[in-house]
Structure formats: C-alpha cells, structure tokens
Amino acid sequence: MDNLESSFRTRRQLLKLASAMALPSALVACSSEKKNASLVVGGLPVTCNLTLPVACAAKEAEIATNKPANPLGFEYSKYSGFPELKESLMSGRIQAAYVLAPMVMDLVSSNIPVKVVSLGHRSGAVIMVRTDAGYKKFRDLQGKRVAIPSRFAVDLLFLRKMLAEEGMAIKDVELVEMPPPDMPAALYAKAIDAYCTGEPFGAAAQMAGYATPLRMTRNEWPNYICCVLTVREDLIASNRAAVQDLVNYVQAAGSWMDADAAHRDKAIAIAATKKYFNQDPKILKFVMTNPSDRVTYGDLRIIPKEFDELMQMSLEAGTLKKPIQFNQYVDESFFKAVRPVTITL
C-alpha cells in the first residue's frame, strides 16, 4: 500500500491549469435540484452511470401517468469525483450511489454499512493519449504522468493489467488522481500524458481531435465492471421496497438501452440535459456509436466470480488491505427478485 500511496502526487496546479482550458462547458459537473418524495441517488456524469438517468426519468414518467404501487421517485445527484461521492454515502447525506466496486469493498472492510445491489454497465473505460505524442504501446509511457479517477477505481486495475502485458509495473508511471471531468483539459494542456477513465471523457478528447485511445476495455476486458449501484443498509432496513424498485428500474434501463439504437438515442437526450449529466449530446452519441459496444448495459448480472477477481486484483494493487467475502458487501436478493418494468420514454 505504501508504494501505491507514494506514487500519487497532490497536483493542484494541474487541476488549475486543466480548469482554465476552454473545453465545452457541458463537461462541467453541477448539482441537480432537490425534489420532495424522492430517493436521492448519487453518481458521476459518466456513461458507466447512464442507466441511472434512464431509471430516474422512467420512474418519473410512470408516476406522472399512472399510480404505481411505490410512488417514491428517484432523484439523480451529480458529483464530479468519487472521493466526494464516497463521503456523502458514508455520512448518510445520500443513501444510494453508483460507486466503484473496490471502493465498496474497502468501505465494508472499514465497517461502513453499505451493500452492492446491482450492476450499472459493462465495459466503457479507455486509456487516452495525445494524438501528437505518437504513443503506441505502454513502454512509451515509461515515467509519464497518467491520471486515474481514484486509487479504488477499476480503471487503475485496467491500467495495471495493460502494463503487466508489456512486462511493466505501476511504479513505471507516475499516477495522478483526478476527477474525470478534468482529464481531457489536463491532457490538452499537457499537464498529464495519458488518462484512464470511463466515458464520455475519452470521447470528448477524441472528438476534439487531440487524443486517441491507446486501449479500450471493449477489446481487452469486455466483461469489465466498475460502477455498481450501492445502498446504505439502513435504507434496506427501513424501505426495502424502494431499493427493490430502484433495482428493477436500473436493470430494466440496461435491457431497454441495449435492445434498440433508438432507445440509446433517447437515453442520450435525457442524460445530456442539465438535470442529469449536462453534457453535449454529440459526445454521448459518439460514445454510443464508436463502436456501439464501447459501453454495454444489457448484461447486468451479479456474478460472484467476477467480484472475487476484482477483489484479488485490488489486493494485488494494494488498494485493499485484506480479503472480504462476497456476501459481506453484496446483497444479491434484490437482483434475484427483479420484476420486469416497462420503460416508457
């Protein structure tokens, strides 16, 4: 763990430089307005979280047109980085969130009462480099600055995996922990040399013409998962029906988006608004079509073996201090009890 922690630097000057660059304002995070009678669910404006805006909008539409058995709506609360999201979940300011899977493992190891109740996506991470740098392999990144969203991010495990394939280790690069929305600008400003994160922050730089993917999970790790729907145990105890309803809608949103390209277009239109991601819909469209399986949502099964593999990789990376049993941090009962929900958007 000490080696991993020492590889991170506090780089406020990088963030200041990144924020000063003139990238589209659609990449800047903001908070959504609060509503009454809603279950607030935190998330980042990344396409790994796209099932959340769809679930929120679908439940809102259901409440507006029918009288559902569970009238509690879902409200999306946007965060720019995982550290702030984690703190809100730990403190109880929010009771549900899309959180990094290894982060949940670490929280539960520290006796924070939370449980994973659903997946939110598959694949969707990229490692981006500048087009003018000429980087073709990871050996080219020897000693270079590489940004990741968090030391608990599965993006870090993806980076380690790719480095290992070329006989390298994480110590061979300089890691920078940075909120995903800041990464494209930091790369443009040459404050970092590469970044590994979820979309659409790879697509944003790629569309602008100054960055290209070095590797994508769709090619190297297609069953990759990072963001998982996580809820506080006190919510499970106090309102189990609301948790089940949320899982039903998230699972249905995933199947709905992968069933038809027109559904993805609708999801883009929803997520792009100020109420949710507040991003350029053209960037989200680029993610959904270049190629179409850059991120997938149709297979949101909770598979214990996949979580065990993530745990082992996190132990090897030093982000987890001790093993943790699957049933300590995952509650499969909601996934197993999923009831079909019709998405009418």
Task: Tell me the CATH number at 21.
Answer: 3.40.190.10
Where do the H-state alpha helices sit in 120-196? 154-165, 183-188
**CA distance linking residue 243 with residue 334, whole number of Å:** 8
Model confidence at 75, pLDDT cuts 50, 70, 90, reads very high
Domain check: are 44 and 108 in the same one? Answer: yes
Model confidence at 68, pLDDT cuts 50, 70, 90, reads confident
Residue with tokens 């943790």: 324
Model confidence at 54, pLDDT cuts 50, 70, 90, reads very high
Mean pLDDT over residues 53-82, rounded?
93
Query: At which of 177, 197, 220 does a domain end?
Result: 220
Domain check: are 322 and 230 in the same one? Answer: yes
What mean pLDDT value characterizes the chain?
A: 90
**CA distance linking residue 114 with residue 40, whole number of Å:** 15
User: 132 vs 136, 191, 193, CA distance in Å?
Assistant: 11, 15, 11
Mean pLDDT over residues 65-72, rounded?
88
For residue 157, give every residue at least 6 positions away whose Cβ sits within 8 Å of its Cβ, in sequence order, or none: 102, 310, 313, 314, 317
Domain assignment of residue 94, yes or no: yes
Three-state secondary structure readout of 57-119: HHHHHHHHHCCCCCCCEEEEEECCCHHHHHHHHHHCCCCEEEEEHHHHHHHHHCCCCEEEEEE
Longest dimension (CA), the chain: 59
Domain check: are 234 and 257 in the same one? Answer: yes
Model confidence at 66, pLDDT cuts 50, 70, 90, reads confident
- Lowest-confidence range among 12-21, 42-51, 229-238? 12-21
Domain assignment of residue 74, yes or no: yes
pLDDT of residue 32: 39
SS3 category, 8:
strand
- Lowest-confidence range among 19-28, 217-226, 236-245? 19-28
Tens-digit pLDDT profile for residues 202-220: 999 999 999 999 999 999 9
Domain interval for residue 159? 2-25+124-220
Dig out the tokens for 216 from the structure. 């994508």
pLDDT at 11 over 50: no
Domain check: are 40 and 102 in the same one? Answer: yes
Report the domain count for the chain.
2
Domain check: are 54 and 194 in the same one? Answer: no
**CA distance linking residue 235 with residue 242, whole number of Å:** 8
Domain assignment of residue 342, yes or no: no
Domain assignment of residue 341, yes or no: no
Domain assignment of residue 119, yes or no: yes
pLDDT at 24 over 80: no
Domain check: are 178 and 103 in the same one? Answer: no
pLDDT of residue 37: 77
Domain assignment of residue 146, yes or no: yes
Domain assignment of residue 71, yes or no: yes
Domain assignment of residue 60, yes or no: yes
Query: At which of 174, 203, 220 does a domain end?
Result: 220
Tell me the helix, strand and coil percentages in the chain, rounded to 5.
Answer: 50, 15, 35
Dig out the tokens for 44 from the structure. 């980042």
Domain check: are 240 and 323 in the same one? Answer: yes
pLDDT at 36 over 80: no
Mean pLDDT over residues 76-88, rounded?
94
For residue 257, give every residue at least 6 positions away whose Cβ sits within 8 Å of its Cβ, in sequence order, or none: 50, 51, 54, 263, 264, 267, 297, 298
Domain check: are 255 and 293 in the same one? Answer: yes
SS3 category, 127:
strand
Model confidence at 311, pLDDT cuts 50, 70, 90, reads very high
pLDDT at 4 over 90: no
Dig out the tokens for 115 from the structure. 């449980």
Report which secondary-structure segment, H or E, holds 241.
helix 240-259
Domain check: are 57 and 195 in the same one? Answer: no
Domain check: are 85 and 204 in the same one? Answer: no
Domain check: are 244 and 291 in the same one? Answer: yes
Contact 63, 71 (CB under 8 A): yes
Query: At which of 165, 194, 220 does a domain end?
Result: 220
Tens-digit pLDDT profile for residues 242-294: 999 999 999 999 999 999 999 999 999 999 999 999 999 999 999 999 999 99
Domain check: are 250 and 195 in the same one? Answer: no
pLDDT of residue 3: 44
Dig out the tokens for 71 from the structure. 């009238």
Tens-digit pLDDT profile for residues 186-201: 999 999 999 999 999 9
How far, rounded to the nearest angstrom, does the alpha carbon of residue 47 sit from its chain's CA centroid? 7
